[in-house]
Chain A
C-alpha cells in the first residue's frame, strides 16, 4: 500500500510564518521563546525554595523523609528558633559579619577598581585583572583550609611574618581568640571575594566616557569633585548590584567558618548559615534548619529591597 506523507513544516517555521502574517503578537512570541528558560528556572530554583518552605512547616526526620511520613506542625519550627537564644546570637554574628565584609568589600573593591582604571595603570590592565581573578578562582573550602593554616597559632605563616617583623614577641591565636575569631573569618572571606567587586566596579568605570572627566577638568573640578559628581552617580546601579549580591553571599558564608573555626571558639562564629547547617545536618532537625534558612532568606530579601529602594531607584533620576 502506497503511503503519502503530507509536508509538515517545523514548529519554528510555523512560528515565523505566524509572525510574518501577523498571526502571533511579538509579545507572545517573546513569551514563548523564554518559556523554556522560565520552566527550567522554576524547576531548579523555585521548586527547591518551595520545598524548603514546605519542609519548614513539617516535622522532618531522616526516616520520615525516606518514607514520606512528614507530619504537618504549622509554625512550630519557627517558634523553636525564635525561642532559641543561639539563633539570635547567630543572627547577630551574621549581622556583624555582613556589615563588616560588605563595607570593606565596597570600599576596597571601588578603591582597587579606581587604581587599576587609572590611565597610568592601564598598561598593566591584563596582568592586574589576571591577578585579581586568582583569589576568586579559589574554591571556598580550599580558601578556608588555606587560611586555617595561615592562622595556625603554632606554625602559621601569619605568626611567622609578624614575629619576624618584630610586631609580636610570641605566636598568637587568631581563629581561636574570641575577640579575633570572627574578624579572622572576615579577612579570609574578603581575600576570596573582593575581586568580584573590583571586577564589577572596574567594568562600570570603563563605561564612563572620558569626555565627561575632560569637561569637568576644564570647569576646574578636582579629583574629589569628579568622583562625587561624575563617577559616583554613574556607578550607582553597579553599587546597588554589588551591595545586593555581596550582602546575600556574606549571609551565606559557610565554607570558611567550617574550615577555620567550626563555629568556635565557643559559639563566637556561629552565624546564621552555620546554625542552619547544624540543625539540618548535625542534629537532623531538618524542619528547624529549613525554618532558619527561611528566616535568613527573609532578612536578605528585606535588605535587598532596601538597597534597591535607597540606592538603585535614585539612579533612574540621576
Chain B
C-alpha cells in the first residue's frame, strides 16, 4: 500500500483533472468536438453508443445540458443509512428529488426490479447483484454506460476484479457498489487452549487441527461454514471450495466439469466427510447465512468460520456487538490462497426518463458526488469494511485505518490479490439457466453433505440437471 505524499483532496483534484482530460480526449476521438455536441449522424452504426454532450467540467460536478426529469428513481437494498445520506446529498447538490425504492434485502430487489420493469415503471439506478446482470442485459432491463461523460475516468481507477465484472461483451454496465471475496477466520481463544500457534495451510492440516480440537473437548464442531440455502451461500461455498481445491465446476463454455475423477468430486467428497465421517463441521452450517451466521460464531462454540463476505470480519470483531471482539483472526485460504471474489454494482435502468440525469445519480451512488469525492464508497468502506472497486478508495489511509480494528489489513489485501471474479471461476453464472440449475444443485449438494447420497451421485445429478436446463 502506498503512503501518499499528497492529501486525499489533492489526489482527487489531480485525478479529476487528469481523468477529465482523458475522458474528454477519448470522447473527442469518438464523438467529435467537445464544446459543441455533434448532432446524431443520419445513419448511426448500431455498435456505436449514442453520443452524449460532453460537459465542460468533471462529469460528476457538471449538470447535464438536458432538462431534468421530475424525479429520479433508485432501487436498492440499504446498507445502514448510507443510501439515505447519499440521496439527500444528491438532492441538495442538484435540486432533483430522489425516489428511494428500498427493499429489505437482496432477493426482494430482484423481484421488485422485474415487476417494475414489466410494468414499464421508471428506474434510474439499480443496486445489482452480479448474477442478475446476464438476465437483465438479455431482457434490456439495464443499459450500458458507454459514451457517458467520465466513464473512461472511472474505468481507469477500477481494479481488475471490478473490471472483470462491469465489462461484458465489450460494454461497461455499471459502477461498483462493493467488492468482496471468500475468506476464512479462526477464533484465537481455541487456538490458545489447544496450543496451536498458526492456522492450517492445507485441507489435511485443517482436518488434523479440528480433530485435535474435538478430541480435547474445545469444540464439538470446530468448523462453521456459511452455507445456508439461497443465493451466495451453499452453492457459492461449493464453487469456492472447488476453485481453492484447484478445480472448476464449469468450463469456459459453461459445460459442467463434474465428471468422474474431477477435482470437484474430490472436493465435494472431502466436504461431506467433514460432516459425516470426521464430524468436524457444525450441521447448522447448512442453515446459516449472512448476519445470523456471524452471530452464531459469536457464541464461541466454533473455531473456524468460512464465509463469502470478507467484510463480515467487521461484524465478527464488532466493538459494539461481538462478545468475542478482537479475538477472531483472518487466515489465508488454503493452498495457493486462490479465492473467488466479485463486485456488486450499480446499474443504469433502461426505463430512466433521462439517461443523463440517471447517470448523475449513478455517479453519486457508485462514483463521485458533486464535490469530487467517492462519498458512498468511503462510507461503505469505513463503516462496514466493504471493499471498493476503485483503487484510490481501497488505498486510502482512512480506509486502512478503519479496517485495522477488524482484521490484519496486510493479510486481507494479500488475500484480495488472490481473488478471481466469480464469472471466470463459474462462467455458467452468466447463463440464464444458472439460477434454475443452482437451485437443483443446492438439493444435490445438501443431500450429499447430509450423507443421503455420495459425492459421485450428487455430481451426476448436477450434470443431468445441466443437460435438462441448458438444453
A interface residue numbers (CB < 8 A to B)? 61-63, 65-66, 86, 148-149, 152-155, 170, 173, 175-176, 178, 261-267, 278, 281-284, 286
Contact = CB atoms under 8 A, between A and B. Distances in A.
B229 A261 contact: yes
Interface in B267-314: 283-284, 286-288, 292, 295-296, 298-299, 301
Interface stretch (B27-35, B138-146, B373-381): B138-146
Nearest to A283: B436
Nearest to B293: A154
B446 interface: yes
Contacts of A148: 292
Contacts, number: 92
A148 B296 CA distance: 13
B120 A66 contact: yes
A278 B288 contact: no
A281 B287 contact: no
B230 interface: yes
A282 B283 CA distance: 27
A173 B298 CA distance: 18
A78 B220 CA distance: 49
A236 to B, nearest CB: 41
Interface stretch (B110-118, B187-195, B340-348): B110-118
Contacts of A154: 284, 288, 292, 295-296, 299, 301
B139 A284 contact: yes
A148 B288 CA distance: 10
Interface residues of B, number: 37
A66 B139 CA distance: 9
Given A265-B446, A266-B446, A282-B110, A62 B229 contact: no
Contact of B284 (A65, A173, A267): A173
| From A152, A265, A267, residue with most partner B Cβ within 10 Å | A265
B442 interface: yes
Nearest to A175: B287
A176 B275 CA distance: 14
A267 B110 contact: no
A152 B299 CA distance: 12
Nearest to B120: A66
Given A173-B283, A262-B228, 20 more contacts: A61-B139, A62-B135, A63-B140, A154-B288, A155-B298, A155-B299, A170-B220, A173-B284, A265-B287, A266-B446, A266-B447, A267-B443, A281-B114, A282-B110, A282-B436, A283-B435, A284-B114, A284-B135, A284-B139, A284-B432
Most B CB contacts (10 A, CB to CB) among A62, A63, A170, A283 go to A62
Given A62-B118, A178-B450, A264-B446, A153 B111 contact: no
Contacts of A176: 228, 283-284, 286-288
A265 B287 CA distance: 7
B401 interface: no
B348 to A, nearest CB: 16
Contacts of B450: 178, 265-266
Contacts of B141: 62
B85 interface: no
Contact of B117 (A66, A86, A178): A66
A263 B228 CA distance: 11
B229 A263 contact: yes
Contacts of A266: 442-443, 446-447, 450
16 contacts: A61-B139, A62-B114, A66-B117, A66-B139, A154-B295, A176-B287, A265-B229, A266-B443, A266-B446, A266-B447, A267-B443, A281-B110, A282-B435, A282-B436, A283-B436, A284-B139
B253 to A, nearest CB: 21
A173 B138 CA distance: 41
A173 B292 CA distance: 14
- Ranked nearest first, the 7 interchain pairs of A and B with the lowest CB-CB distance are A176-B287, A264-B229, A154-B296, A153-B284, A62-B139, A65-B118, A266-B443
Nearest to B298: A155
A54 B301 CA distance: 54
A152 B446 contact: no
B205 interface: no
Contacts of B99: none
B417 interface: no
A62 B113 CA distance: 10
Contacts of A262: 228-230
B410 interface: no
Interface in B125-165: 135, 138-141
A261 B114 CA distance: 23
B282 to A, nearest CB: 8
B439 interface: yes
Contact of A155 (B140, B228, B229, B296): B296
A176 B227 CA distance: 11
Interface string B409-452: 00000000000000000000000100110011011001100100
Nearest to A62: B139
Contacts of A178: 450
Which one of B229, B286, B439 has the greatest number of beta carbons of chain A within 10 Å? B229
Nearest to B446: A266
B114 A265 contact: no
A154 B228 CA distance: 14
A38 B283 CA distance: 55
B295 A63 contact: no
Nearest to A258: B107
Contacts of B440: 86
Nearest to A61: B139
